[in-house]
Chain A
């Protein structure tokens, strides 16, 4: 960081994590729909331009996938393994660029920002389940896993990283419950139909990790699943299936529920 006189004279100015411009961190002119203080603080570090360009999903229209407009996909979906999910933002061009910068270019400095945005979706799921205390609603947070090779290439699993942040903020245990079975081609290159078929049997739950879930004296068993983008919902659905199957098989819970919190809805 270079020396700048303005920084010295006006210490409340700080560098925006997203665009790198100097911004006044105290300004509250753009509201942030997140309650958790740590997440709020991260988002308030952004400059006005970046903060106001976040396309928050204010009111989900689809009660299943959290899409902010009429959703033709969810009513025709027959095999709903997940209870429901909520997404924090619309996947517009700016969000696409931001995710690409983080995920593909590897600009990990954006990680807290994305996690803080995801917190909005997380809090919405909690409030729709009738409470603010996430630790009492969910027994565990987990993330959609990445294929081994992809993980090796990228060096991190974006969903896992965001899930870990949430787990720290809200006091819910993060557990790497899922594993990916086989390597599939890149999702973005496929049609909807082939994606749904292809995802079947792609994930399995890790039994050893499952043993670490704190279930004693729990009436309703709920797991929260984290991912970056909801496109067709096939990934989260298959993950939910793997989790429920394994939990039922292990006799842990008769009717486990899996909810989703995703960063963006495309």
Chain B
């Protein structure tokens, strides 16, 4: 889009603005009655009245948003330094020329630089009424935009489903922006918050480096195309494209942070009280109490830190709950959610997986019936409004900015959150500055494990499952690679024996394989041996991410209609089967990393009735990854034993 650039001069300052609805700006600065109406409509908050302008100089033509923003920040820098030229128009023209040059389109500068002076408008009753009505709406809009960060199309969609606004939405928004209650940015902006003169160049002779203002992606994820909307080569972000397109000339509308709600002191309970109230095991309640105490800790003052501290990436408001698979992570966060919600704050649970969102939502609705719940995922019914408690995929957090007092990231090491800087950016930005992030994982990424060990990341370990029995330790099973024996259609005798033994003891079997293409042949091969396992042929099934009936098969597996399920890492987490044994085939394949192996091993022995499930890593080689996974599990068991969390063995 294109916007109008103008500058306002008062007795002791100059300020440049760009506007999406200049008719509002013109009245705001030049119509006394309108301005008084605005003050009346806005209410007590408009106390800080800006000084009366001496003169307002505006360009005659609109400029592409990217250029306008760059020109305005140049002017702000220039005028802050106190260097005023005699004419505002000259300053503006120079700034616009510089902006075009920086964008690599110097030849365009000067084309649209004719300026005009805005005259005073006559004072009228109608002006006052217009100002009042617009200000009332602007205030309502600002309230609705609190904690959000939306593209223009999303704002329209948000207003469309609820109560609309009588006036032109751009006018309402422009007034809210003038009053500082809403901020508008180009959705793709120059990288970093550095002053203009220190801005990085994208490359020799190329335009300044940009980044996506919504997802934080840099030049490598931006693409420049010719844009019919602003008439120049305009960059758009490919990283967050699925959430709506951010481009240099598109508005990103950011509301004020959600209002602060200090926690009630009485919410901070010791471990034993938590255990009673939320029915937690000792290990669970100790971790929950530690997290709760962390949440109540005063936010550290953002003092000037020594330079060496700046490089540390750890977040001082983040707390890691490192809980083994099957520890009952969700129950542990209930006390935290309760503390925030009881104080009137907002909490969110973000998880990379949609399955997890759908599973969590009803449990939370049951645990906190008195609060408003919002469930967000691609294609969900709710879209924009955050209730008191929001459960969302991590992608959806991109639409929030300083909205939550507490944000819990569940399964933070799962795809696609893990290693995606855009989702980390979204999660970090959706939290209030002084809010708390709680990270939940059975297998934290090694970077976080390191930070935790070095004391840079506050954390609590939950080394034991809720049934207080040790985790099953993986056993090594040396068999040739799948491909070799699958071709000959013969299951290696060692593997055959163990599968048969598991079936005999009445367990459900997970068979994990690295590749989807191996599932079908393996299912056929197993079915041929079904009689040998003493099973019906159709109790052996396979499923993968590409299987439309995955949900149905998992249910059938849970109901014991399926006894052997061949699958990939898609089922490595989130699935709880009462009595199950785990076989990881080709466990030496690099596709399975240590956390994957730990997660898959974590499918065994989850219920109190059968805590001693069996786990086998079947591979031709015992790799470092497998060793590492086995070591992690043993370490957790040892830690639990030392701390007396295990029930008598």
A-to-B contact residues, CB < 8 Å: 1, 105-109, 151-157
Give how many A-B residue pairs fall within 8 Å (CB-CB). 35
Q: Which B residues lie within 8 Å of A154 (CB)?
A: 228-229
Question: In the complex, which residue of chain A has the Cβ closest to the Cβ of B247?
Answer: A155
Question: Are A105 and B228 CB-contacts (below 8 A) given A1-B220, A155-B234?
Answer: no
Question: Are A105 and B226 CB-contacts (below 8 A) given A1-B220, A155-B234, A155-B247?
Answer: no
> What is the size category of the interface that chain B forms with chain A?
10 to 19
Question: In the complex, which residue of chain B has the Cβ closest to the Cβ of A156?
Answer: B228
Q: Is the interface of B mostly helix, strand, loop or mixed?
A: mixed
Determine how close the nearest CB of chain A comes to the CB of B422; give it in whole angstroms.
13
Question: Are A157 and B225 CB-contacts (below 8 A) given A1-B220, A107-B241, A108-B236?
Answer: no
B223 within 8 A of A: yes
Determine how close the nearest CB of chain A comes to the CB of B513; give it in whole angstroms.
19
B242 within 8 A of A: yes
Q: Which B residues lie within 8 Å of A151 (CB)?
A: 228-229
Question: In the complex, which residue of chain B has the Cβ closest to the Cβ of A104?
Answer: B245
Cβ contact within 8 Å between A106 and B228:
no
Known: A152-B228, A156-B225, A156-B226. 17 other contacts (CB 8 A): A1-B220, A105-B241, A105-B244, A106-B241, A106-B247, A107-B238, A107-B241, A109-B223, A109-B238, A151-B228, A154-B228, A154-B229, A155-B227, A155-B229, A155-B247, A156-B227, A157-B228
Cβ contact within 8 Å between B220 and A108:
no
Determine how close the nearest CB of chain B comes to the CB of A177; give it in whole angstroms.
17
Cβ contact within 8 Å between B229 and A152:
yes
Q: How far is the CA of A156 from the CA of B247 in the complex (A)?
A: 13
Q: Which B residues lie within 8 Å of A1 (CB)?
A: 220
Residues 207 to 223 of chain B near chain A (Cβ within 8 Å): 220, 223
Q: Which A residues lie within 8 Å of B220 (CB)?
A: 1
Q: Which B residues lie within 8 Å of A108 (CB)?
A: 223, 225, 236
Question: In the complex, which residue of chain A has the Cβ closest to the Cβ of B225?
Answer: A108
Q: Which B residues lie within 8 Å of A156 (CB)?
A: 225-228
Cβ contact within 8 Å between B228 and A155:
yes
Cβ contact within 8 Å between B236 and A106:
yes
Q: Which B residues lie within 8 Å of A105 (CB)?
A: 241-242, 244-245
Q: Which A residues lie within 8 Å of B226 (CB)?
A: 156
Determine how close the nearest CB of chain A comes to the CB of B21; give it in whole angstroms.
16
Q: Which among A1, A155, A156, A157 has the highest number of chain B CB atoms within 10 Å?
A: A155
| Chain A proximity mask over B238-259: 1 for CB below 8 Å, otherwise 0 | 1001101101000000000000
Q: Which among B220, B223, B228, B234 has the highest number of chain A CB atoms within 10 Å?
A: B228
Q: How far is the CA of A154 from the CA of B229 in the complex (A)?
A: 8
Q: How far is the CA of A153 from the CA of B245 in the complex (A)?
A: 11
Q: How far is the CA of A155 from the CA of B244 in the complex (A)?
A: 13
Question: In the complex, which residue of chain A has the Cβ closest to the Cβ of B246?
Answer: A106
> Could you list some 9 contacts between A and B, CB below 8 A?
A105-B242, A106-B236, A106-B245, A107-B238, A108-B223, A109-B223, A151-B229, A155-B247, A156-B225
Q: Which A residues lie within 8 Å of B234 (CB)?
A: 155
Q: How far is the CA of A1 from the CA of B228 in the complex (A)?
A: 28
Determine how close the nearest CB of chain B comes to the CB of A94; give it in whole angstroms.
14
Question: In the complex, which residue of chain A has the Cβ closest to the Cβ of B249?
Answer: A155
Q: How far is the CA of A157 from the CA of B228 in the complex (A)?
A: 8
Q: How far is the CA of A152 from the CA of B241 in the complex (A)?
A: 18
The 5 A-B pairs at the shortest CB distance, nearest first, are namely A106-B245, A155-B227, A155-B229, A151-B228, A108-B225
Q: Which A residues lie within 8 Å of B225 (CB)?
A: 108, 155-156
